[in-house]
Structures are given as structure tokens and as C-alpha cells.
Amino acid sequence: AQSVSQHNHHVILSEAASLELGCNYSYGGTVNLFWYVQYPGQHLQLLLKYFSGDPLVKGIKGFEAEFIKSKFSFNLRKPSVQWSDTAEYFCAVRDGSSNTGKLIFGQGTTLQVKP
């Protein structure tokens, strides 16, 4: 079965530090990739997505992610974090050949940014 692994469960950074959150998935075929964010007390919202084309994807709020097919990875990056980036981040994968279209989510990474 497909799985998604987020290596960092809890990350603590100071403001202006650079961020990279790891995401690896197990499926070798065509995939669609997503990063969602959940700010404290708010609903899950989409940060960015990759379906095809340029493997470097830019999202909202200065986030970007790079799809590296050979490494089965889709890591999330931000060059300089802000206190307002404190949130939980989820990587998700959709099997491109699936007849269900369902998303498989990683375990989530809690990011705490210290002012």
C-alpha cells in the first residue's frame, strides 16, 4: 500500500531561519503531490500542489516545494520563516492511476517559530 512519510515530527526555529520539511512517498508511478497547512484553530488549507511540469512548485506565503522523482521526495522549503508560520504541515500524495482519487497523508510536522 502507498505510504507517505514525514521525517520531522516537531521542528522549532527562530524567525528568519530557513525551513525544510521532508516528505517521502512509496509509490513509483504517476503521483500528484500536495502540502497542506493547518494554523492553530483553523481548517486545513492548501499551500501548494504538484501535478506535472516544472518540479519546483511555488505556493502561497513564500513556500515552495521540489519534486524529485528519483528520490520519491517532495520537500517543503521557505527561505525565511515568520512567527505566523507556526502551524502543522501535512504532505499528501494521490496515486495518479488510482480509480478512487483518494489522498494519502503523512503524519504531519508541527512547526514552532520563536519570535
Partner 1 sequence: DVKVTQSSRYLVKRTGEKVFLECVQDMDHENMFWYRQDPGLGLRLIYFSYDVKMKEKGDIPEGYSVSREKKERFSLILESASTNQTSMYLCASTHDRFLHEQYFGPGTRLTVT
Work out whether 30 is an interface residue with partner 1 (CB under 8 A).
no
Of 39, 38, 51, whose CA–CA distance to 93 is shortest?
Answer: 51
63 binds partner 1 (CB under 8 A): no
Q: Is 49 in the site for partner 1 (CB under 8 A)?
A: yes
DSSP notation for 58-76: E-GGG-EEEEEGGGTEEEE
Return the residue of 30, 45, 82, 84 that touches partner 1, per CB under 8 A. 45
The interface region with partner 1, picked from 13-21, 58-66, 73-81, 89-97 by CB under 8 A, is 89-97
Which part of the chain contacts partner 1 (CB under 8 A), choosing from 11-19, 37-45, 55-63, 66-74?
A: 37-45
Q: Determine, following the binding rule CB under 8 A, whether residue 90 of this chain makes contact with partner 1.
A: yes
3-state secondary structure of 94: strand
- Quick one: how many helices (H) and strands (E) in the chain? 0, 12
Quick check: helix, strand or coil at residue 62? helix
Q: Binder to partner 1 among 25, 27, 34, 50 (CB under 8 A)?
A: 34
Give the span between the Cα atoms of 86 and 39, in whole angstroms.
Answer: 7
Distance CA 46, CA 76 (A): 13
Residues at the site binding partner 1, with contacts judged by CB under 8 A = 4, 6, 9, 34, 36, 42-46, 49, 51, 90, 92, 94, 100-103, 105-108
